[in-house]
Chain A
Amino acid sequence: MENLVQEAIQNVNLQAIMPSLVLCVFGMAILMVSVFSKRGSTTHIAWLSIAALVVTGFVTLIGWNNPQAGFAGSVLLDNFATFFSMICIIAAGLTILMSDDYLRREGYPVSEYYPLILFTTAGAMWMASGTDLMTIFLGLEVLSVSLYVLAGFFRNQTRSNEAGLKYFFLGAFSTGFLLYGVALLYGVTGTTKVDGIAAYLMANPEAAMNTMFIAGGSLLLVGFLFKVAAAPFHMWTPDVYQGAPTPITAFMSAGPKAAAFAALMRVTIIGLDGLQSELTSLFWILAVLTMTIGNFIALTQKDLKRMLAYSSISHAGYVMVGLVAWNEIGLSAILFYMLVYTFMNMGAFAVLVLIGKKGEDNLTLDGVAGLGYKKPILGIVLSIFLFSLMGLPPTAGFTAKFYIFAGAIEAGYIWLAVLGVLNSAVSLYYYLRVMVQMYFKDPEEDFAWVSINGPVTISIVVSAVGVLYLGIFPHTLMSLAKLAGF
Chain B
Amino acid sequence: MLDRRPILLANARVVDPSRDLDIMGDVLLADGVVRGAKTGIGAAGVPEGTEVIDCRGKLVAPGLIDMRAFIGEPGATSRETLATASQAAAAGGVTTIVCQPDTTPAIDDAATVDYVLRRARDTAIVHVHPMAAITKGLEGKEMTEIGLLKAAGAVAFTDGDKSVTNAQVIRRALTYARDFDALIVHHTEDPDLVGEGVMNEGEFGTRLGLMGVPKAAETVMLERDIRLVALTGGRYHAASVTCMESLEVLRRAKDAGLDVTASASINHLTLNENDIGPYRTFLKLVPPLRAEDDRKALVQALADGLIDVVMSDHNPQDVETKRLPFAEAAPGAIGLETMLIAGLRLVHGGSIDLKTLLRAMSTRPAELLGLPGGTLRAGAPADLIVVDLERPWVVDPAELKSKCKNTPFDEARMTGRVVRTIVAGRTVYEIV
A and B associate: no
